[in-house]
Amino acid sequence: MNRDQVFEFFRRLAEENPSPTTELEYDNAYTLLVAVVLSAQATDAGVNIATKPLFERVKTPEQMVALGEEQLRDAIKTIGLFNTKARNVIALSEDLIRDHQGQVPHTREELEKLPGVGRKTANVVLNTAFSQETFAVDTHIFRVCNRTGLAPGKDVLRVELKLEKAVPQPFRLNAHHWLILHGRYICKARLPECWRCPVIDLCRYKPKTLPPEERAKARSSAARSASRGKSAVRTATARKPRTP
């Protein structure tokens, strides 16, 4: 995509959803950090179910440490990898108390030193809690960037660095939310819903998915042709002269 196309791509996503944000529920930078750590290989909806009662009781690292690993494990046991995640959340809370006066740091370097916090988690926190123009590339963004040609790359870091270069103002702050939501609800992994996609003419993915009714028609016409083919073979076999 050239620069004008990239601008138009985000202009249309912005027009559809002027104020995108994370679907994770949180109260402050700390609970956002915890929610993002818990969301690795889990859905936001699943994390929200577990964190709703948890965040009513726990809003600070001190309260999390006081809760303890065992009770935290019990509170998040519906989330995948909950044992490791509980251990990490307690450890990162202890680090925040010891090294950052109980506050979530504002730099990627400091965030990435916390247990269970990788580049993607740090980028989400920097963007959503501290309004920094970061691009947290998850599986949805990786797919959308490669399919569309917006920022193709073999791994998430290459896609992130390409987005850094390609995304223009005024879209940089919200770009990663638009891309996640686009990937989650329209440009889906198994079957992208191209027929209702606002950027269909800018996207280089081929072939585009047809609307459901056209796919149904194409399927039934293919089934008819296949059955005509079979009966033609049967007729030809029946007419074949027997060898004496």
Please report which residue ranges of the chain form alpha helices under DSSP H: 3-16, 29-38, 44-57, 61-67, 69-75, 82-99, 108-112, 119-128, 139-148, 156-166, 175-185, 212-239
Task: State which amino acid sits at residue 54.
Answer: L
Q: Is 181 in the site for ligand SF4 (CB under 6 A)?
A: no
Q: Is 151 in the site for ligand SF4 (CB under 6 A)?
A: no
Give me the residue label for tokens 């920022």: 151
Distance, CA of 236 to CA of 169 (rounded, Å): 67
The catalytic residue among 44, 95, 120, 208 is 120
Q: Is 122 in the site for ligand SF4 (CB under 6 A)?
A: no
Q: Is 187 in the site for ligand SF4 (CB under 6 A)?
A: yes
Distance, CA of 97 to CA of 104 (rounded, Å): 10
Closest distance to ligand SF4 from the beta carbon of 166 (Å): 15
Q: Is 148 in the site for ligand SF4 (CB under 6 A)?
A: yes
Applying CB under 6 A, what is the total number of residues that bind ligand SF4?
13
CB nearer to ligand SF4: give 87 or 188. 188
Give me the residue label for tokens 């889990």: 42
Examine the residue annotation and report whether 188 is marked as an active-site residue of this protein. no
Closest distance to ligand SF4 from the beta carbon of 156 (Å): 18
Residues catalogued as catalytic? 120, 138
Binding-site ranges for ligand SF4 (CB under 6 A): 147-148, 186-187, 192-194, 197, 199-200, 203, 205, 208
